[in-house]
Amino acid sequence: MLKTISIGLFALLLTANPLLAEVKLASPFTSHMVLQRDMSVPVWGTADAGEKMTVEFAGQKISTTADADGKWRVDLKPMPASAEPRELLVSGNRKSQIENLKCNDVLVGEVWLASGQSNMDFSMSKKVKYFAGIANEEKEIAAANYPLIRMFIGDAQKTYAPTNRIGGEWKICTPENASAFSAVGYIFARDLQREIKVPVGIIAEAFGASTAEAWIDRATMAADPKLKPLLNRFDAAVEKFRTNPPPVIAAPRSEDVSATNAAPKNRKRGGGARDPIQDQHNATVLFNGMIAPVIPYAIRGAIWYQGESIVDANTGGIELYPHVQAALIRDWRKLWGEGDFPFYIVQLAGQDAASNSPLVREAQATVLQLPNTGMAVATDIGERKNVHPKNKQDVGDRLARIALANVYGYKIEFAGPTFQSMKVEGDSIRVNFSHADGLVARDGNLKWFSIAGADGKFIPAETKIDGSTVLVSSPEISAPVAVRYAWVNFPDGGHLYNSAGLPTAQFRTDAPKLSVE
């Protein structure tokens, strides 16, 4: 009888108390993570409203109280780099259950966000992603043994509203783990770590065939007259799908997924009903699902590889892209609250495909109008029939050079010959470049310069390298007015490099002035 009363009393007590929220750390906080050195490090999560939370790490012990929504955050004071594996401990004050969370093997160093579409999602091994596999795959993976490099790969997810969680965990760079690593992210981290000698962490948040507007916050798009039409089209498609799902197809986009960058292999392609929220071409869906959960994890900067999937053609197309790209960068910088952190992009590689237009690369290059940005040129390392070129080593190396020179103070060349100006000299045009030490055509045969007179008809030109300039002419044109370089979809060989082996970005002297505003 007494046993029965005790059981009944226990059950009554359980029903009389509200369910307690599970104490959680935010998604990016797992064992083996890297925390950013030399700046405040936010640590956040959820618990019961009013619960006192304490975070302990590297001699720091900071407490706070969960707010009315159960959210809490502390900011660790800036710490120097450390390769010593240490424990981050989070504890609450409830006595009714275990309240301790531990992250083991935590390092302090440099953290970078790697985002974009499938060429950033491109895994080291083709066994992991069907479209991937780095050049010299087996050799590169076997050599990927860098215990001070760690990578967090966020699970792909698209949502209508921002979520606060994303699947994924930090992995140590070993040959076993590196197969699934973003190849560009890994090469970038490897080249950095070899030089700066501190731990390097990469947060990889990328999704194939995604447009830039998919990675921008709703509030930013809603407040921007140029971007709001993209948001309106998405919202209208969502509403139509929810009220009448069967006949609805995803919101229109500029190119089919199969013609641009890879989506997950089991993705439905064309025809039938499709939830527009699950279409990575639509505004905000990837920001909501993949970026929101990792803000404001302390980072040094971001690398971005996004090419052909480039804004809905019905609402702006390539012409709108400079503004969209700038809006994304400004949006992330504002939300992270770290100021104008470094943001480095990869320009579209060459490919013999209609979607691979030099106009896209020209639009991407406008990133350099923004402060603290850089661009890795990849025109010379594309593949004629492959939108996912295997040479990710040069891409990662070129990104790392930009960071080493501009963030870490290394006295190295970080850009290829960059068009500065032109001057007509009789029947020739002299093209002036910056970053032009040791101009050379790598294979001895400089191609891809064309020249035009007043009629605007461009023809192949003769060239002569002269110091930091190139003299361009044609016997068919006596009064030249403009020059173009590599103004084709797939410039194969014959590129202009500097002594650092970095290529010239395509350009045209007759280009309209593109603005990011």
In this structure, which amino acid lies at residue 247? P
Give CA–CA dist 210/434, Å, rounded: 33
pLDDT tens digits along 96-137: 445 579 999 999 999 999 999 999 999 999 999 999 999 999
Pick from 178-192, 283-297, 351-365, 418-432: least confident: 351-365
Residue 386 pairs with which residues in a beta bridge?
A: 383
Q: What is the DSSP letter of 288?
A: I
- Write down the pLDDT at residue 444: 76
Judge contact between 347 and 365, C-beta under 8 A.
yes
pLDDT tens digits along 405-454: 999 999 999 999 999 999 999 999 999 999 999 999 987 789 999 999 99
Judge contact between 474 and 459, C-beta under 8 A.
yes
Diameter of the chain measured on Cα atoms = 111
Which tokens belong to 143?
């050599």
Q: Which helix (H) or strand (E) holds 362?
A: helix 358-364
239 Cβ neighbours under 8 A, 6+ residues apart: none
Give CA–CA dist 355/293, Å, rounded: 32
Give CA–CA dist 514/363, Å, rounded: 8
- Write down the pLDDT at residue 21: 72
Judge contact between 381 and 399, C-beta under 8 A.
no
Residue 153 pairs with which residues in a beta bridge?
A: 204
Work out the average pLDDT over 85-89: 98
Cis peptide bond prior to 296, omega within 30° of 0: yes
Taking Cα atoms as reference points, which of 88, 121, 125 lies closest to residue 104? Answer: 88
Judge contact between 452 and 485, C-beta under 8 A.
no
Domain ranges for the chain = 118-203+216-414, 418-508
- DSSP per residue, 274-289: --GGG-TTSTTHHIII
Name the CATH architecture for the domain at 118-203+216-414.
3-Layer(aba) Sandwich (3.40)
Give CA–CA dist 148/111, Å, rounded: 12
Judge contact between 261 and 274, C-beta under 8 A.
no
Q: What are phi and psi of 502, to 5 degrees?
A: -100, 135
Pick from 314-318, 387-391, 472-476: least confident: 314-318
Q: What are phi and psi of 182, to 5 degrees?
A: -55, 125
Taking Cα atoms as reference points, which of 412, 396, 503, 415 lies closest to residue 112? Answer: 396
In this structure, which amino acid lies at residue 396? G
pLDDT tens digits along 136-183: 999 999 999 999 999 999 999 999 999 999 999 999 999 999 999 999
Which tokens belong to 179?
């197969």
**How does strand 373-376 pair with strand 343-346?**
parallel
Judge contact between 336 and 295, C-beta under 8 A.
yes
C-alpha of 365 from chain center: 15
Judge contact between 261 and 310, C-beta under 8 A.
no
- Write down the pLDDT at residue 419: 98
Mean pLDDT over the full length of the chain? 90
- Write down the pLDDT at residue 355: 84
Q: Which helix (H) or strand (E) holds 345?
A: strand 343-346
Pick from 12-21, 274-283, 466-475: least confident: 12-21
Whole-number percent of the chain with pLDDT over 70: 89
Higher-confidence position of 255 and 484: 484
Give CA–CA dist 105/86, Å, rounded: 5
Q: Which helix (H) or strand (E) holds 44?
A: strand 41-46
**Confidence class for position 354, pLDDT limits 50, 70, 90:** confident
Q: Which CATH number fits domain 418-508: 3.30.2000, 3.30.70, 1.10.10, 2.60.40?
A: 2.60.40
Residue 86 pairs with which residues in a beta bridge?
A: 106
pTM, two decimal places: 0.92
Judge contact between 434 and 417, C-beta under 8 A.
yes
- Write down the pLDDT at residue 245: 75
**Confidence class for position 95, pLDDT limits 50, 70, 90:** low
Which tokens belong to 209?
């065939």
Give CA–CA dist 57/42, Å, rounded: 12
Work out the average pLDDT over 178-203: 98
**Confidence class for position 365, pLDDT limits 50, 70, 90:** very high
Which tokens belong to 425?
């000299």
Give CA–CA dist 338/349, Å, rounded: 31
**Confidence class for position 315, pLDDT limits 50, 70, 90:** low
Pick from 179-183, 207-211, 252-256, 483-487: least confident: 252-256
pLDDT of 368 > 60? The answer is yes
Which tokens belong to 90?
């989070």
Judge contact between 313 and 227, C-beta under 8 A.
no
Whole-number percent of the chain with pLDDT over 90: 83
**Computed from CA positions of residues 200, 367, 355, 289, in that sequence, does the dihedral angle turn out positive or negative?**
positive
